[in-house]
Structure 1
Amino acid sequence: MRLLSLLLISLFGITVVSGFIVGGYGGGRSYSSSSSSEEHGHGHRPPRPRPPHRPRPPSPPPQRDPECEDGWMSFNRTAGRWCVKVFYGGGLAQYNAEELCQGQGATLTGLQTINERVQLANAGRLISNANGGGLAEIWLGATRRAGCNRRTDCTPLNTFQWTDGHTTGTAGMFWPGPEPNSVWFTNWGNQNCLELQVSAADGVAARHGYPHASLDDEHCQKDQARLYACGKLAK
Protein backbone atom coordinates (compact mmCIF):
# COMPACT_ATOMS: atom_id res chain seq x y z
CA MET A 1 0.00 0.00 0.00
CA ARG A 2 2.76 2.34 0.84
CA LEU A 3 4.58 1.48 -2.35
CA LEU A 4 1.50 2.26 -4.41
CA SER A 5 1.17 5.65 -2.75
CA LEU A 6 4.77 6.53 -3.59
CA LEU A 7 4.23 5.60 -7.27
CA LEU A 8 1.11 7.77 -7.48
CA ILE A 9 2.90 10.71 -5.94
CA SER A 10 5.78 10.35 -8.41
CA LEU A 11 3.43 10.20 -11.42
CA PHE A 12 1.48 13.18 -10.16
CA GLY A 13 4.66 15.23 -9.76
CA ILE A 14 5.85 14.44 -13.27
CA THR A 15 2.45 15.40 -14.69
CA VAL A 16 2.49 18.76 -12.85
CA VAL A 17 6.02 19.55 -13.98
CA SER A 18 5.20 18.64 -17.56
CA GLY A 19 2.15 20.82 -17.54
CA PHE A 20 4.13 23.66 -16.08
CA ILE A 21 6.73 23.38 -18.82
CA VAL A 22 4.20 23.07 -21.64
CA GLY A 23 1.82 25.70 -20.38
CA GLY A 24 4.46 28.24 -19.50
CA TYR A 25 3.62 30.68 -16.83
CA GLY A 26 -0.11 30.33 -17.27
CA GLY A 27 -0.21 32.43 -20.43
CA GLY A 28 -1.26 29.59 -22.68
CA ARG A 29 1.57 30.19 -25.15
CA SER A 30 4.75 28.29 -25.59
CA TYR A 31 8.05 30.05 -25.45
CA SER A 32 10.63 29.25 -28.03
CA SER A 33 14.21 30.32 -27.67
CA SER A 34 14.51 30.36 -31.43
CA SER A 35 12.31 33.45 -31.76
CA SER A 36 14.29 35.92 -33.85
CA SER A 37 15.01 39.28 -32.36
CA GLU A 38 14.55 40.69 -35.89
CA GLU A 39 10.78 40.25 -35.34
CA HIS A 40 11.02 42.97 -32.71
CA GLY A 41 13.14 45.37 -34.78
CA HIS A 42 16.43 44.57 -33.10
CA GLY A 43 18.11 42.61 -35.89
CA HIS A 44 21.07 43.61 -38.11
CA ARG A 45 20.61 46.88 -39.98
CA PRO A 46 20.59 46.70 -43.77
CA PRO A 47 23.88 47.93 -45.35
CA ARG A 48 24.08 51.63 -46.09
CA PRO A 49 23.87 52.50 -49.77
CA ARG A 50 27.23 53.44 -51.29
CA PRO A 51 27.59 56.94 -52.75
CA PRO A 52 27.40 57.06 -56.52
CA HIS A 53 30.71 56.55 -58.29
CA ARG A 54 32.27 59.79 -59.38
CA PRO A 55 34.78 59.59 -62.21
CA ARG A 56 38.15 61.12 -61.55
CA PRO A 57 38.75 64.47 -63.24
CA PRO A 58 40.94 64.18 -66.33
CA SER A 59 44.63 64.80 -65.83
CA PRO A 60 45.82 68.19 -67.11
CA PRO A 61 47.66 67.99 -70.43
CA PRO A 62 51.45 67.98 -70.12
CA GLN A 63 53.03 71.40 -70.30
CA ARG A 64 54.92 72.00 -73.52
CA ASP A 65 57.96 74.20 -73.74
CA PRO A 66 57.27 77.50 -75.53
CA GLU A 67 58.09 77.32 -79.19
CA CYS A 68 58.76 79.83 -81.95
CA GLU A 69 56.64 79.84 -85.07
CA ASP A 70 57.95 78.33 -88.27
CA GLY A 71 60.48 80.60 -89.93
CA TRP A 72 61.42 82.42 -86.72
CA MET A 73 64.84 82.03 -85.13
CA SER A 74 64.86 80.93 -81.50
CA PHE A 75 67.14 82.32 -78.80
CA ASN A 76 67.19 81.38 -75.10
CA ARG A 77 67.00 84.43 -72.86
CA THR A 78 66.56 85.02 -69.14
CA ALA A 79 63.00 86.29 -69.72
CA GLY A 80 62.15 83.23 -71.84
CA ARG A 81 62.60 81.91 -75.34
CA TRP A 82 62.89 84.85 -77.75
CA CYS A 83 61.73 84.52 -81.35
CA VAL A 84 63.23 86.72 -84.08
CA LYS A 85 62.58 87.06 -87.80
CA VAL A 86 64.13 89.36 -90.39
CA PHE A 87 61.74 90.79 -92.98
CA TYR A 88 62.28 92.54 -96.30
CA GLY A 89 60.75 96.00 -96.38
CA GLY A 90 62.11 97.51 -99.59
CA GLY A 91 62.81 100.86 -97.90
CA LEU A 92 61.19 101.82 -94.60
CA ALA A 93 61.57 104.45 -91.91
CA GLN A 94 62.13 103.05 -88.44
CA TYR A 95 58.63 103.81 -87.17
CA ASN A 96 57.08 102.13 -90.24
CA ALA A 97 59.12 99.01 -89.51
CA GLU A 98 57.89 99.07 -85.89
CA GLU A 99 54.27 99.18 -87.09
CA LEU A 100 54.88 96.15 -89.31
CA CYS A 101 56.39 94.24 -86.38
CA GLN A 102 53.36 95.03 -84.24
CA GLY A 103 51.22 93.52 -87.00
CA GLN A 104 53.17 90.29 -86.32
CA GLY A 105 52.44 90.52 -82.59
CA ALA A 106 56.07 91.56 -82.10
CA THR A 107 58.32 94.59 -81.82
CA LEU A 108 61.64 95.66 -83.31
CA THR A 109 64.18 93.48 -81.53
CA GLY A 110 67.37 94.22 -79.69
CA LEU A 111 70.52 92.09 -79.65
CA GLN A 112 71.21 90.16 -76.45
CA THR A 113 74.44 88.45 -77.52
CA ILE A 114 77.09 88.37 -80.23
CA ASN A 115 75.46 85.21 -81.56
CA GLU A 116 72.14 86.99 -82.04
CA ARG A 117 73.83 89.90 -83.82
CA VAL A 118 75.70 87.68 -86.28
CA GLN A 119 72.74 85.39 -86.95
CA LEU A 120 70.47 88.35 -87.72
CA ALA A 121 73.05 89.87 -90.06
CA ASN A 122 73.51 86.53 -91.87
CA ALA A 123 69.75 86.10 -92.24
CA GLY A 124 69.53 89.65 -93.56
CA ARG A 125 72.18 88.87 -96.16
CA LEU A 126 70.21 85.90 -97.49
CA ILE A 127 67.00 87.95 -97.71
CA SER A 128 68.76 90.92 -99.30
CA ASN A 129 70.47 88.76 -101.92
CA ALA A 130 67.12 87.12 -102.71
CA ASN A 131 65.72 90.59 -103.40
CA GLY A 132 68.37 92.03 -105.71
CA GLY A 133 71.44 91.77 -103.50
CA GLY A 134 73.81 94.53 -102.53
CA LEU A 135 74.30 96.37 -99.27
CA ALA A 136 71.53 96.45 -96.72
CA GLU A 137 70.65 97.59 -93.22
CA ILE A 138 68.31 96.07 -90.62
CA TRP A 139 66.26 98.29 -88.34
CA LEU A 140 66.59 97.29 -84.66
CA GLY A 141 64.68 98.16 -81.48
CA ALA A 142 66.84 100.78 -79.79
CA THR A 143 66.84 104.50 -79.04
CA ARG A 144 69.44 107.07 -78.05
CA ARG A 145 69.69 107.72 -74.32
CA ALA A 146 68.80 111.14 -73.00
CA GLY A 147 71.91 113.27 -72.53
CA CYS A 148 73.93 111.35 -75.14
CA ASN A 149 73.47 113.89 -77.90
CA ARG A 150 77.10 114.09 -79.01
CA ARG A 151 79.68 111.40 -79.44
CA THR A 152 81.67 112.71 -76.51
CA ASP A 153 78.69 112.78 -74.13
CA CYS A 154 78.61 109.01 -73.53
CA THR A 155 80.69 105.95 -74.25
CA PRO A 156 79.60 103.97 -77.34
CA LEU A 157 78.13 101.13 -75.26
CA ASN A 158 76.09 103.58 -73.15
CA THR A 159 74.77 105.76 -75.97
CA PHE A 160 71.78 103.56 -76.92
CA GLN A 161 69.28 101.48 -74.98
CA TRP A 162 67.10 98.58 -76.17
CA THR A 163 63.35 99.14 -76.51
CA ASP A 164 61.83 95.65 -76.95
CA GLY A 165 61.35 95.19 -73.20
CA HIS A 166 63.37 91.94 -73.08
CA THR A 167 66.89 92.66 -74.33
CA THR A 168 69.33 93.62 -71.57
CA GLY A 169 72.97 94.64 -71.34
CA THR A 170 75.42 95.56 -74.06
CA ALA A 171 76.91 92.17 -75.00
CA GLY A 172 75.12 92.29 -78.36
CA MET A 173 76.59 95.66 -79.35
CA PHE A 174 79.52 96.20 -81.67
CA TRP A 175 80.37 99.71 -82.89
CA PRO A 176 82.90 100.12 -85.69
CA GLY A 177 85.34 103.03 -86.00
CA PRO A 178 83.73 106.39 -85.23
CA GLU A 179 80.25 105.07 -84.47
CA PRO A 180 77.93 106.13 -82.98
CA ASN A 181 78.87 109.48 -84.51
CA SER A 182 75.62 111.42 -83.80
CA VAL A 183 75.27 113.21 -87.14
CA TRP A 184 72.85 116.13 -86.80
CA PHE A 185 70.49 117.17 -89.61
CA THR A 186 68.58 120.42 -89.35
CA ASN A 187 65.28 118.89 -90.47
CA TRP A 188 65.69 115.50 -88.78
CA GLY A 189 67.70 116.26 -85.68
CA ASN A 190 70.00 113.59 -84.23
CA GLN A 191 70.50 109.97 -85.28
CA ASN A 192 68.26 108.47 -82.61
CA CYS A 193 67.70 105.00 -84.13
CA LEU A 194 69.89 101.98 -84.70
CA GLU A 195 70.70 99.81 -87.73
CA LEU A 196 72.60 96.56 -88.21
CA GLN A 197 74.91 96.67 -91.24
CA VAL A 198 74.78 93.79 -93.74
CA SER A 199 77.36 93.06 -96.41
CA ALA A 200 76.67 91.24 -99.67
CA ALA A 201 79.15 88.39 -99.04
CA ASP A 202 81.91 87.17 -96.75
CA GLY A 203 85.06 89.25 -97.15
CA VAL A 204 83.09 92.21 -98.50
CA ALA A 205 82.54 95.34 -96.44
CA ALA A 206 79.12 96.70 -95.60
CA ARG A 207 78.07 100.33 -96.11
CA HIS A 208 80.65 102.99 -95.20
CA GLY A 209 83.28 100.24 -95.28
CA TYR A 210 82.04 98.87 -91.96
CA PRO A 211 82.28 95.16 -91.08
CA HIS A 212 79.35 92.83 -91.62
CA ALA A 213 77.12 92.65 -88.49
CA SER A 214 78.28 95.97 -87.04
CA LEU A 215 76.05 98.76 -85.72
CA ASP A 216 75.39 102.27 -86.98
CA ASP A 217 73.26 105.06 -85.55
CA GLU A 218 70.83 106.50 -88.07
CA HIS A 219 68.04 109.04 -88.45
CA CYS A 220 64.73 107.36 -87.66
CA GLN A 221 63.11 109.13 -90.64
CA LYS A 222 65.53 107.62 -93.16
CA ASP A 223 63.56 105.28 -95.43
CA GLN A 224 66.43 103.50 -97.16
CA ALA A 225 66.78 100.56 -94.79
CA ARG A 226 65.64 97.50 -96.72
CA LEU A 227 65.22 95.12 -93.79
CA TYR A 228 63.82 95.04 -90.27
CA ALA A 229 64.00 92.47 -87.46
CA CYS A 230 60.99 91.65 -85.25
CA GLY A 231 61.15 89.88 -81.89
CA LYS A 232 58.60 88.36 -79.50
CA LEU A 233 58.35 85.80 -76.72
CA ALA A 234 57.60 82.21 -77.72
CA LYS A 235 54.12 80.81 -77.06
Structure 2
Amino acid sequence: MGFLNLLGISLFLSLLISTVARDFGDDSSCDSSEEHGGHGNHGPRSPRPPSRPPVPGGPDNANRPKCGQGWFTSYRPQGIWCLRVGIGKMDYNGAIAQCATFGGVLSGVQNDWERWLLAQEANRQTLAYNVQYSGMWLGAQRNSESNTFYWTDGHTVGTEGLRFGSGQPDNENTAGRGPQNCLQLIALSPGYWNNPGKFASWTTSSGLLDDYWCIVTEEPSQRINFQN
Protein backbone atom coordinates (compact mmCIF):
# COMPACT_ATOMS: atom_id res chain seq x y z
CA MET A 1 0.00 0.00 0.00
CA GLY A 2 2.96 2.28 0.39
CA PHE A 3 3.96 4.60 -2.42
CA LEU A 4 6.80 6.99 -3.24
CA ASN A 5 6.48 10.23 -5.18
CA LEU A 6 9.91 11.74 -5.77
CA LEU A 7 9.67 15.48 -6.35
CA GLY A 8 13.31 16.45 -6.13
CA ILE A 9 16.36 16.06 -3.93
CA SER A 10 18.47 18.72 -2.22
CA LEU A 11 19.67 19.13 1.37
CA PHE A 12 16.17 18.10 2.38
CA LEU A 13 14.04 16.04 0.03
CA SER A 14 11.01 17.57 -1.65
CA LEU A 15 8.52 14.73 -1.21
CA LEU A 16 5.77 13.49 1.05
CA ILE A 17 5.50 10.40 3.22
CA SER A 18 2.33 9.06 4.76
CA THR A 19 1.40 6.16 7.02
CA VAL A 20 -1.71 4.01 6.78
CA ALA A 21 -3.25 2.97 10.07
CA ARG A 22 -6.23 0.68 10.60
CA ASP A 23 -8.05 -1.21 13.30
CA PHE A 24 -7.14 -4.90 13.51
CA GLY A 25 -9.34 -6.76 11.04
CA ASP A 26 -10.97 -3.55 9.81
CA ASP A 27 -9.60 -0.67 7.71
CA SER A 28 -9.82 2.38 9.94
CA SER A 29 -6.91 4.82 10.02
CA CYS A 30 -4.00 6.43 8.26
CA ASP A 31 -1.31 9.00 9.00
CA SER A 32 0.85 11.49 7.05
CA SER A 33 3.82 13.82 7.34
CA GLU A 34 5.76 16.69 5.83
CA GLU A 35 9.37 17.83 5.98
CA HIS A 36 10.17 21.37 7.04
CA GLY A 37 12.88 23.92 7.14
CA GLY A 38 11.72 24.90 10.62
CA HIS A 39 8.70 25.36 12.90
CA GLY A 40 8.11 28.27 15.21
CA ASN A 41 10.73 29.74 17.50
CA HIS A 42 13.04 27.37 19.34
CA GLY A 43 15.58 28.22 22.02
CA PRO A 44 19.34 27.61 22.14
CA ARG A 45 19.55 24.04 23.37
CA SER A 46 20.62 21.12 21.18
CA PRO A 47 18.31 18.06 21.19
CA ARG A 48 19.39 14.48 21.69
CA PRO A 49 18.28 11.26 19.96
CA PRO A 50 15.39 9.56 21.80
CA SER A 51 15.66 6.14 23.38
CA ARG A 52 13.23 3.37 22.48
CA PRO A 53 10.16 3.19 24.77
CA PRO A 54 8.91 -0.22 25.95
CA VAL A 55 6.36 -1.98 23.74
CA PRO A 56 2.83 -1.53 25.19
CA GLY A 57 1.39 -4.68 26.76
CA GLY A 58 4.75 -6.16 27.69
CA PRO A 59 7.29 -8.16 25.65
CA ASP A 60 6.17 -9.39 22.24
CA ASN A 61 5.32 -13.08 21.83
CA ALA A 62 4.20 -15.38 19.03
CA ASN A 63 0.81 -16.06 20.60
CA ARG A 64 -0.52 -12.51 20.31
CA PRO A 65 -2.42 -11.62 17.10
CA LYS A 66 -0.54 -9.34 14.71
CA CYS A 67 -1.31 -7.12 11.75
CA GLY A 68 -0.58 -8.42 8.25
CA GLN A 69 2.79 -8.36 6.51
CA GLY A 70 4.06 -4.84 5.92
CA TRP A 71 2.05 -3.39 8.82
CA PHE A 72 3.19 -2.37 12.30
CA THR A 73 1.12 -3.74 15.19
CA SER A 74 0.28 -1.47 18.12
CA TYR A 75 -1.36 -3.14 21.14
CA ARG A 76 -3.54 -0.30 22.36
CA PRO A 77 -5.77 -0.65 25.46
CA GLN A 78 -8.81 -0.25 23.20
CA GLY A 79 -7.65 -2.89 20.69
CA ILE A 80 -4.99 -3.69 18.10
CA TRP A 81 -4.09 -0.81 15.76
CA CYS A 82 -2.24 -1.39 12.47
CA LEU A 83 0.15 1.22 11.02
CA ARG A 84 1.95 1.44 7.69
CA VAL A 85 4.10 4.17 6.09
CA GLY A 86 4.33 5.28 2.43
CA ILE A 87 5.42 8.39 0.47
CA GLY A 88 3.56 11.08 -1.55
CA LYS A 89 2.86 14.86 -1.45
CA MET A 90 -0.15 16.63 0.11
CA ASP A 91 -1.45 19.01 2.76
CA TYR A 92 -3.56 17.92 5.74
CA ASN A 93 -6.81 17.55 3.77
CA GLY A 94 -4.95 15.79 0.98
CA ALA A 95 -3.61 13.31 3.52
CA ILE A 96 -7.14 12.63 4.76
CA ALA A 97 -8.33 12.05 1.18
CA GLN A 98 -5.42 9.74 0.39
CA CYS A 99 -6.05 7.71 3.53
CA ALA A 100 -9.68 7.32 2.48
CA THR A 101 -8.59 5.64 -0.76
CA PHE A 102 -7.20 2.82 1.40
CA GLY A 103 -10.34 2.66 3.55
CA GLY A 104 -8.50 4.38 6.40
CA VAL A 105 -8.40 7.66 8.32
CA LEU A 106 -5.59 9.94 9.45
CA SER A 107 -4.28 8.45 12.69
CA GLY A 108 -3.58 9.93 16.08
CA VAL A 109 -0.73 8.78 18.36
CA GLN A 110 -1.72 6.69 21.35
CA ASN A 111 1.53 6.49 23.32
CA ASP A 112 5.28 7.03 23.48
CA TRP A 113 6.01 3.80 21.64
CA GLU A 114 3.90 4.81 18.62
CA ARG A 115 5.61 8.19 18.49
CA TRP A 116 9.02 6.51 18.50
CA LEU A 117 7.93 3.90 15.93
CA LEU A 118 6.57 6.43 13.41
CA ALA A 119 9.64 8.67 13.71
CA GLN A 120 11.95 5.69 13.16
CA GLU A 121 10.00 4.46 10.13
CA ALA A 122 9.94 7.97 8.63
CA ASN A 123 13.72 8.14 8.90
CA ARG A 124 14.16 4.64 7.48
CA GLN A 125 12.11 5.40 4.38
CA THR A 126 13.78 8.74 3.68
CA LEU A 127 17.37 7.59 4.29
CA ALA A 128 18.01 6.99 0.58
CA TYR A 129 16.96 10.58 -0.20
CA ASN A 130 19.19 12.30 2.37
CA VAL A 131 16.18 13.77 4.19
CA GLN A 132 17.24 14.93 7.65
CA TYR A 133 14.15 16.57 9.11
CA SER A 134 10.53 15.61 8.51
CA GLY A 135 7.10 16.09 10.07
CA MET A 136 4.20 13.63 9.90
CA TRP A 137 0.58 14.77 9.64
CA LEU A 138 -1.54 13.41 12.50
CA GLY A 139 -5.28 12.90 12.91
CA ALA A 140 -5.75 15.78 15.32
CA GLN A 141 -7.31 19.25 15.39
CA ARG A 142 -7.05 22.26 17.68
CA ASN A 143 -9.95 22.81 20.08
CA SER A 144 -11.73 26.09 19.32
CA GLU A 145 -10.11 29.13 20.98
CA SER A 146 -7.73 26.87 22.87
CA ASN A 147 -4.13 25.65 22.87
CA THR A 148 -5.25 22.04 23.24
CA PHE A 149 -5.96 19.36 20.61
CA TYR A 150 -8.29 16.40 20.13
CA TRP A 151 -7.86 13.18 18.13
CA THR A 152 -10.03 12.76 15.04
CA ASP A 153 -9.57 9.09 14.07
CA GLY A 154 -12.28 7.68 16.35
CA HIS A 155 -9.85 5.23 17.99
CA THR A 156 -6.97 7.12 19.64
CA VAL A 157 -7.72 8.20 23.22
CA GLY A 158 -5.99 10.05 26.05
CA THR A 159 -3.10 12.48 26.09
CA GLU A 160 -0.01 10.26 26.40
CA GLY A 161 0.69 10.71 22.68
CA LEU A 162 0.44 14.51 22.94
CA ARG A 163 4.06 15.25 23.79
CA PHE A 164 5.28 18.53 22.30
CA GLY A 165 8.69 20.03 21.68
CA SER A 166 9.87 22.91 23.89
CA GLY A 167 7.72 26.02 23.42
CA GLN A 168 5.05 24.11 21.47
CA PRO A 169 2.25 24.35 20.59
CA ASP A 170 2.77 28.05 19.88
CA ASN A 171 0.00 28.68 17.29
CA GLU A 172 2.34 30.86 15.24
CA ASN A 173 0.46 33.11 12.81
CA THR A 174 2.78 34.34 10.05
CA ALA A 175 2.47 35.22 6.37
CA GLY A 176 -1.32 35.42 6.68
CA ARG A 177 -1.70 31.67 7.08
CA GLY A 178 -3.97 31.85 10.08
CA PRO A 179 -3.81 29.61 13.15
CA GLN A 180 -1.85 26.36 13.32
CA ASN A 181 -4.81 24.02 13.75
CA CYS A 182 -3.09 20.76 12.76
CA LEU A 183 -0.38 18.61 14.34
CA GLN A 184 2.76 17.03 12.95
CA LEU A 185 5.13 14.51 14.48
CA ILE A 186 8.76 15.57 13.98
CA ALA A 187 11.29 12.99 12.76
CA LEU A 188 15.01 13.81 12.93
CA SER A 189 17.41 11.47 11.11
CA PRO A 190 20.83 10.21 12.28
CA GLY A 191 22.31 12.66 9.78
CA TYR A 192 20.58 15.50 11.60
CA TRP A 193 22.08 14.51 14.95
CA ASN A 194 25.56 14.37 13.40
CA ASN A 195 25.26 17.71 11.60
CA PRO A 196 22.16 19.76 12.51
CA GLY A 197 23.50 22.86 10.75
CA LYS A 198 21.19 25.87 10.99
CA PHE A 199 18.78 23.86 13.18
CA ALA A 200 21.39 23.26 15.91
CA SER A 201 19.56 25.60 18.30
CA TRP A 202 16.37 23.55 18.22
CA THR A 203 15.09 22.16 21.51
CA THR A 204 12.82 19.54 19.96
CA SER A 205 13.59 15.82 19.72
CA SER A 206 12.60 13.17 17.21
CA GLY A 207 9.10 11.87 17.91
CA LEU A 208 7.80 15.05 19.56
CA LEU A 209 4.84 17.04 18.19
CA ASP A 210 4.48 20.54 16.77
CA ASP A 211 1.38 22.47 15.71
CA TYR A 212 1.35 23.49 12.05
CA TRP A 213 -0.73 25.11 9.30
CA CYS A 214 -3.13 22.60 7.76
CA ILE A 215 -2.97 24.21 4.30
CA VAL A 216 0.82 24.09 3.87
CA THR A 217 2.14 21.37 1.56
CA GLU A 218 5.84 22.21 1.31
CA GLU A 219 7.74 25.19 2.62
CA PRO A 220 10.49 25.93 1.91
CA SER A 221 10.90 24.14 -1.43
CA GLN A 222 12.66 21.21 0.25
CA ARG A 223 10.01 19.27 2.13
CA ILE A 224 8.61 15.83 2.98
CA ASN A 225 5.17 14.51 3.99
CA PHE A 226 3.73 11.25 5.27
CA GLN A 227 0.45 9.62 4.27
CA ASN A 228 -1.02 6.22 5.12
| Shared fold per TM-score greater than 0.5 | yes
Q: Return the structure number with greater helix share.
A: 1
Question: Residues 193-232 of structure 1 correspond to what in structure 2 (within 5 A)?
Answer: 193-201=182-190, 204=193, 209=202, 210-224=204-218, 226-230=224-228
CA distance in 2 between partners of 1:203 and 1:110 (Å): 25
Match of 1:51 in 2: none
CA distance in 2 between partners of 1:70 and 1:101 (Å): 19
CA shift digits 1:57-86 (9 cap, x unpaired): xxxxxxxx8642321111112332101112
Residue type of the alignment partner of 2:87 = Y
CA shift digits 1:79-127 (9 cap, x unpaired): 32101112222x4211111111111111111111100110110011111
Match of 2:166 in 1: 177
Instruction: Please provide the CA RMSD for this pair.
Output: 2.4
Question: Residues 1-235 of structure 1 correspond to what in structure 2 (within 5 A)?
Answer: 67-89=66-88, 91-148=89-146, 154=147, 159-185=148-174, 187-201=176-190, 204=193, 209=202, 210-224=204-218, 226-230=224-228
Higher mean C-alpha deviation, range 182-191 or range 94-103: 182-191
Contact 1:108/1:228, CA 8 A, preserved across alignment: no
CA distance in 1 between partners of 2:213 and 2:192 (Å): 28
CA distance in 2 between partners of 1:226 and 1:122 (Å): 15
Query: Structure 1 vs Structure 2: percent identity of aligned residues?
Result: 31
Residue type of the alignment partner of 1:163 = T
Residue type of the alignment partner of 1:218 = Y
CA distance in 2 between partners of 1:119 and 1:203 (Å): 18
Q: Return the structure number with greater strand share.
A: 2
Residue type of the alignment partner of 1:146 = S
1:203 Cα shift?
7.2
Residue type of the alignment partner of 1:74 = T
Match of 1:19 in 2: none
CA shift digits 1:129-148 (9 cap, x unpaired): 13332211111110001121
Q: Partner of 2:190: helix, strand, or coil?
A: coil
Contact 2:108/2:139, CA 8 A, preserved across alignment: yes
Contact 2:134/2:224, CA 8 A, preserved across alignment: yes
Query: Structure 2-normalised TM-score?
Result: 0.62
> Rg larger in 1 or in 2?
1
CA spacing shift, 1:131–1:100, aligned 2, 3 Å: farther
CA spacing shift, 1:203–1:96, aligned 2, 3 Å: closer
Contact 1:176/1:215, CA 8 A, preserved across alignment: yes
Contact 2:98/2:227, CA 8 A, preserved across alignment: no
The runs of 4+ residues in structure 1 deviating greater than 3 Å are 205-208
Long gaps (5+) in structure 1: 1-64, 149-153, 231-235
Contact 1:75/1:83, CA 8 A, preserved across alignment: yes
CA distance in 2 between partners of 1:189 and 1:85 (Å): 31
CA distance in 2 between partners of 1:105 and 1:131 (Å): 29
Contact 2:142/2:182, CA 8 A, preserved across alignment: yes
CA distance in 2 between partners of 1:182 and 1:93 (Å): 17
Residue type of the alignment partner of 2:207 = A
CA distance in 2 between partners of 1:102 and 1:226 (Å): 20
Q: Would you say how many aligned residue pairs link Structure 1 and Structure 2?
A: 157
